Structure 1
């Protein structure tokens, strides 16, 4: 998997997300020079021997203009070959393409295409236009409309949100009232809301990389066990030609350039996969890497203006896990200290569901500083398993967008 060509200088746009941390591992293992900027001094990527330099920066959510100026300053003061947006920073970078492109390479679609899938409502409308399958969906603009549109059981989503933010499972009137209360308290009622029928099935995700509308790389995996907030604790690579076809249609329609990922439900009562969400980036790319598909390297080559050859299909049946997610998930499900200790034992011994699985987030044998956040998390959960929910919320930080920062970036005078 390691490229024999000259190492590149890569600036990673954030280090707080699991996706960013995994990208750092892949880049470092390939011998690239990696630097990271993030508003948190203690982000996950700080605990990696592959990060040559960390830059403390303004938050994307709290100060998008300041964050952009900071990145421009870095690019002006030192040389980087590639700017790698590993999370929602792509929304800002494609908006400011004219300011950034003369200084560094990156692979992103135009702003209108990015906006079309960044919004959950926009993505749902796109699926309707392309005739691609999704759960029955209603888009509403107020709490009154939400009450009328909801039938049980349903999933209520804000149009903007990532990492399971702004999502409620409503099985009855009590759940709906709780969602309405949360929406009113959070102020998330200024935009559109989605109500989707709750479909019983398994969760899968697919990742892809496009070159101006042509699919060059694809990988899919299924959730074996869940962590905190519904994220994957254990995943396994799968072959999904139907989902690949969905992504090819989306990418061709939008003339997509760069990374694109989707979330999918595989219904128990149907063979048709249903698209439920979209992320205009790579989501946790290590499972693909372990299965023989290096989507991060593919992005680097696109960022340099190359047109790489399409990658071969990744291997199915490759299992990976995130021990941090597994521990948080165990504790968040009303777990006790004994449950956390048992989970630690299963992970260490490689017992089911970890048998034959590779650690993807904190691979200590490859990158020993990754042991620090894992050990700290385990210690906190042993003190009190209730820490799980507050630790999980720590991932929803200033490196992410919200409705206000999106409006600012979209405003006419921003760039």
Structure 2
């Protein structure tokens, strides 16, 4: 691990996601001063010895204008070198780029580029325009259009949604009717809905950092075992030059600046990777860190205006796991208490799929406080394995966007109507 000569003051824009929790570990190991703001006082990142200060803020989803004012006020009151958006906060930061300019280093593209990949429908259209591979996709806006577009088996996705929200696997009429009911009752047809052919294959992810349209860092990993909601419980780094080329094309076209991640499907009947989703941020960067590529440090450097050279290739075959995801996945698959106890033992002993793997979300040996959420998850699941689905749904909080909050941020009046009143900053040590 290379420790930078200068220790930076970094403000992480939320603390509830697994991506934020992993970024904080990497930042802390490098010796940086890390503070976090989040609408939940019990967010995952509070259980880290690397967190210097917590700021309780308005919810991005429930009060996007209030959240932005809070960040502006905090950056005015305290000196930060870098503002690091680890989730959907980048959407409002890109929208308000001029207001945030000069307050802290921030690596984001212009708002139109961000919008192009934030929604699934926009990303699909971009792939078509760039002639990049994706599963056969239809974009619809009504129940009738969806019924006409469906081909079994398919995946139905709302254009807005993260953390596996707004996704239905439709294999027959029964699945379709359930998806239609959920979509209509949630008001999802107020936006666009994607219908994609269901491709059989392995799920992978790729992460990258760009500096003004030029790729300067890349990493990819495959899913070894799934957790709850389709997230990764066990990962292994892989080399994917084709996916790297796809990202270079996307980044150059959008003149991308900052972090960009994609979900990839590797079909069993084809050697061509298919792009299935995009996240305009770093997603769970610890596997890359363990594989010799520190994308978080690279993102800090780009945020500060540096023009870094391309990082070397990451090492393939490096395995990491998220114990909390593994336990939740076991419970969500109708696991019994005995199944969960066995999973706990395999994780602790490093046997089976965990052989040679290191913990990336709650690294107790590096950060003893991270044992708290892990122990609580295990205890709750041992008391009642059926709680797994409820615990997973708790990951959708006020730090994430929905159709209504996106509409507010996109509106012409959003920045003009921001009140000059600046709310106080609530801090917890």
Shorter-chain-normalised TM-score: which range?
A: over 0.9
TM-score, L = length of structure 1? 0.99
* Distance in 1 separating the partners of 2:101 and 2:28: 24
- For the Cα contact (< 8 Å) 1:2–1:29, is it kept in 2? no
Q: Secondary structure at the match of 2:385?
A: coil
Q: CA deviation at 1:120?
A: 0.3
What is the DSSP-based 3-state SS (H/G/I as helix, E as strand, rest coil) of the residue aligned with 2:74? helix
Partner residue, 1:42:
42
- Tell me, in whole angstroms, the C-alpha distance in 2 between the residues paired with 1:313 and 1:169: 35
Instruction: Find out whether 1:6 has 2:6 as its counterpart.
Output: yes
Q: Name the residue aligned to 1:344.
A: 344
Kindly state the Cα deviation for residue 405 of structure 1 after the two structures are TM-superposed: 0.4
- Per the TM alignment, residue 3 of structure 1 is displaced from its structure 2 partner at its CA by 2.5
Where do 1:5-404 residues align within 5 Å? 5-404=5-404
Contact 1:2 1:31 in 2 (8 A): no
CA distance in 1, matches of 2:184, 2:191: 12
Aligned CA-pair RMSD:
0.5
Is residue 323–residue 347 contact of structure 1 (8 Å, CA) maintained in 2? yes
Q: Partner of 2:397: helix, strand, or coil?
A: coil
Q: Is the Cα–Cα contact under 8 Å of residues 203 and 265 in structure 1 kept in the other structure?
A: yes
Q: Quick one: distance in 2 between partners of 1:154 and 1:244?
A: 27
Mapped to 2, the partners of 1:117 and 1:265 lie a distance apart of: 18
CA distance in 2, matches of 1:101, 1:353: 46
Q: Give SS of 2:162's match.
A: coil
Runs of 4+ in 1 over 6 A off after TM superposition: none
CA–CA separation in structure 2 for the residues paired with 1:113 and 1:3 = 33
Deviations 1:344-369 (A, max 9, x none): 01101101110000100000010111
In structure 2, runs of 5+ residues without a counterpart are: 416-429
Return the alpha-carbon distance in structure 1 between the equivalents of residues 6 and 134 of structure 2.
43
In 1: Cα distance, 2:307 partner to 2:102 partner: 19
1:202-248 CA distance string (max 9 Å, x none) = 00000000001100000000000000000000000000000000000
Equivalent pair of 1:12/1:84 in contact (CA under 8 Å): yes
| 1:143 shift after superposition | 1.2
The CA deviation at 1:147 is 0.9
> What's the secondary structure of 1:16's corresponding residue?
coil
In structure 2, distance between residues paired with 1:354 and 1:167: 29
Q: Is the 8 A contact 1:140 1:193 kept in 2?
A: yes
Instruction: Quote the offset at 1:166 in angstroms.
Output: 0.3
Describe the superposition over 1:364-391 as per-residue Cα deviations: whole angstroms up to 9, x where unpaired: 0101110000000000000100100010
Alpha-carbon shift at residue 133 of structure 1 (Å): 0.3
**Alignment: residue pair count:** 415
C-alpha displacement at 1:152, in angstroms?
0.2
TM-score (ref. length: structure 2): 0.96
8 Å Cα contact 1:61-1:405 kept in structure 2: yes
Q: Give me the whole-angstrom Cα distance separating, in 2, the residues matched to 1:258 and 1:3.
A: 21
Q: Secondary structure at the match of 1:71?
A: helix
Question: Secondary structure in 1 aligned to 2:229?
Answer: helix
TM-superposed deviation, 1:2: 3.2
